[in-house]
Amino acid sequence: MFFEGSEKKLEITVGPAVANLRQLDLSFWVDLVRHANAEILSSLKSDHCDAYLLSESSLFVWKNRILILTCGNSTLVNAACYFIEHFGVVNIAFISYQRKNEYHAHLQNSTFAEDIIQLRRHIPGKAFRMGHLDSHHHYFFCSEGHYKAQTEESTIELLMYHIRGELAEYLNGEVQTLGDMCRWLKLEALFPQFTFDVHLFEPYGFSMNGLWGEYYITLHITPQAGQAYACSYVSFETNLDLSQYPQTVLGSLLNLFSPVSWDLIGFNHPLEAQGAPRHLCLGRCSLTTDQGYHIGFNHYQQLQAEVLSPELM
């Protein structure tokens, strides 16, 4: 059974007139994710952030900001509009909406172009694409306004395609356990300060949220069994400054999953993957938004040739 791993991502920062978002009743967040065609499975809290694992990825809530990622056949733009309508556009300081191209776009409820038409009915903004249309690429929408990016607003995304090796075979095996997954991923060694919330999906798939104070990590694995890994997808994201972090996080993940290709996307974060397998950078792109976000996009491919098998249709 096919499941779309490619994600949509929404970040919203509210203005000072809005009270602490973490004090909202749980019912609001249940309604929000329901508009995205998802549901809350579990939660994790720190002194600075609430993290919710969803049936389709994750939701993070800080005092004045939210981040929500959804995969599958989700309708994240509906959640964005629900949030804007609830608080009023005057109280929205900034919105960023991001969408990766899907493996099976025809199965989605909308296109990025349709999403932007819907968003622009509520709030003005600029939209753009990074990457070639005939390869992995990403769409972005950033609202207009006077908001300026804060120094600490830095994130890095690692998106991996066509995973291979022992872990890929295990993920596509008959049985997986949470204990085995945590040992494979070496979460406690890579992120010793973090507390984790993990979930295995049936028949396949794994999601993880982690919190350490104001910092978050999130990892989502869609192995796509029965399709020779042809549609496998793994995403990792954090607001840690990995250039200063003592562990070689990105290199460790790349060597563990051994993807044929991968993307790095940084918001005010350098695009480096120390310890990565030998590779080529096939393309890079960057821009700076009116709010002061420097967005960088690099697409990589391993030097090792991929041996393909024909797929019976």
Q: pLDDT per residue over 3-25, tens digit each? A: 666 789 999 999 999 999 999 99
Torsional sign, CA 87, 90, 94, 98: positive
pTM: 0.94
Superfamily of domain 8-302: S-adenosylmethionine decarboxylase (3.60.90.10)
Non-local CB neighbours of 126 within 8 Å, separated by 6+ positions: 141, 142, 144, 289, 290
Q: Is the peptide bond before 203 cis (omega within 30 degrees of 0)?
A: yes
Domain range summary for the chain, segments of one domain joined by +: 8-302
pLDDT exceeds 70 at position 259: yes
List the structure tokens of 305. Answer: 């040739």
Q: Could you write out the three-class secondary structure of 115-152? A: HHHHHHCCCCEEEEEECCCCCCCEEEEEECCCCCCCCC
Tens-digit pLDDT profile for residues 201-248: 887 889 999 999 999 999 999 887 555 445 789 999 999 999 889 899
Between residues 67 and 169, which one has the greater pLDDT? Answer: 67
